[in-house]
Amino acid sequence: MAETLPVVNGSSGTWGSVLNTAIGNIDTRVAAATATNGTQDTNITSVTGRVGALETGTAGAINVSTLTTKGDLLVATGSGAVSRLGVGAAGQFLAPTPAAGGGLAWALNPGQLVFSARATTAQSLPDLTSVFIIFQTEDYDRLNVFTPGAASSTYTPGVAGWYEVTGNVYFGNAQAGYRGLYWNVDGADVNAGGATAAYTPATGANVNARTMPLLLTATSVISLRAYHNAGATISTNVATAQQSSIAVKWLGP
């Protein structure tokens, strides 16, 4: 004889009895949990509360309002304490920095070019007179601290650290004597920062400044100082391949 399928709250043999017992047990436990805010509800509330803690500022939680800008990071400032580290600029990387509150700081990549400019307008250079070379055309300014123009003869890095500087000045021809070029920081010539060359009548004289490391403050003022003893005023060359230039690389803190 075919067995009748079990029916909820019904009685149809062994299967019906088992099904009814199981359903009854479930109903009883759900009712108890609902009535007393028991284990099930407590767990749900706990999970929801912990997720929401970022927004509500629950004790021991981190408030999401601490982060204000895309790319912000949370860094530990001590045991059980964090703070916001703002997003760095493109091309920077996180470097261990014990002096920083969170132990980390954004930094430039060592060896990265941060500045390059050229002199595209001829400049008059009087005899036996120091003249700071003016750079009218900016090719690259990673830190956005240089304003090219008619009187832009200095570069200020904006970030303290070690830098590598290089440059050149192309002096005009048709005069005798020698040509000199010197690195100058904050109004003083740099030790071992000079270079000289004798002029060549047919082509003038290109003087390459010494490529050298300099430890600079954020407000240091870097210049290239030109000097000559030609006996008369001469000018810099500005032909495409004969323009004066300056370039600065970041080496590290």
Q: Which tokens in the block code for residue 114?
A: 């941060």
Contact between residue 84 and residue 72 where contact means Cβ atoms under 8 Å apart: yes
Number of neighbours of residue 115 by Cβ within 10 angstroms = 26
pLDDT of the residue at 109: 84
Query: Quick one: pLDDT band at residue 68, thresholds 50, 70, 90?
Result: confident
pLDDT of the residue at 39: 52
As a whole number of angstroms, the distance between CA 70 and CA 168 comes to 42
Contact between residue 247 and residue 165 where contact means Cβ atoms under 8 Å apart: yes
Torsion of CA 163, 164, 170, 171, to 10 degrees: 70
Percent of the chain with pLDDT over 90: 40
Q: Which residues pair with 179 in a beta bridge?
A: 197, 228
pLDDT of the residue at 131: 94
Entry field: residues in the chain: 253
- Write down all domains in the chain, each with its CATH number in brackets: 1-62 (no CATH), 67-107 (no CATH), 112-252 (2.60.120.40)
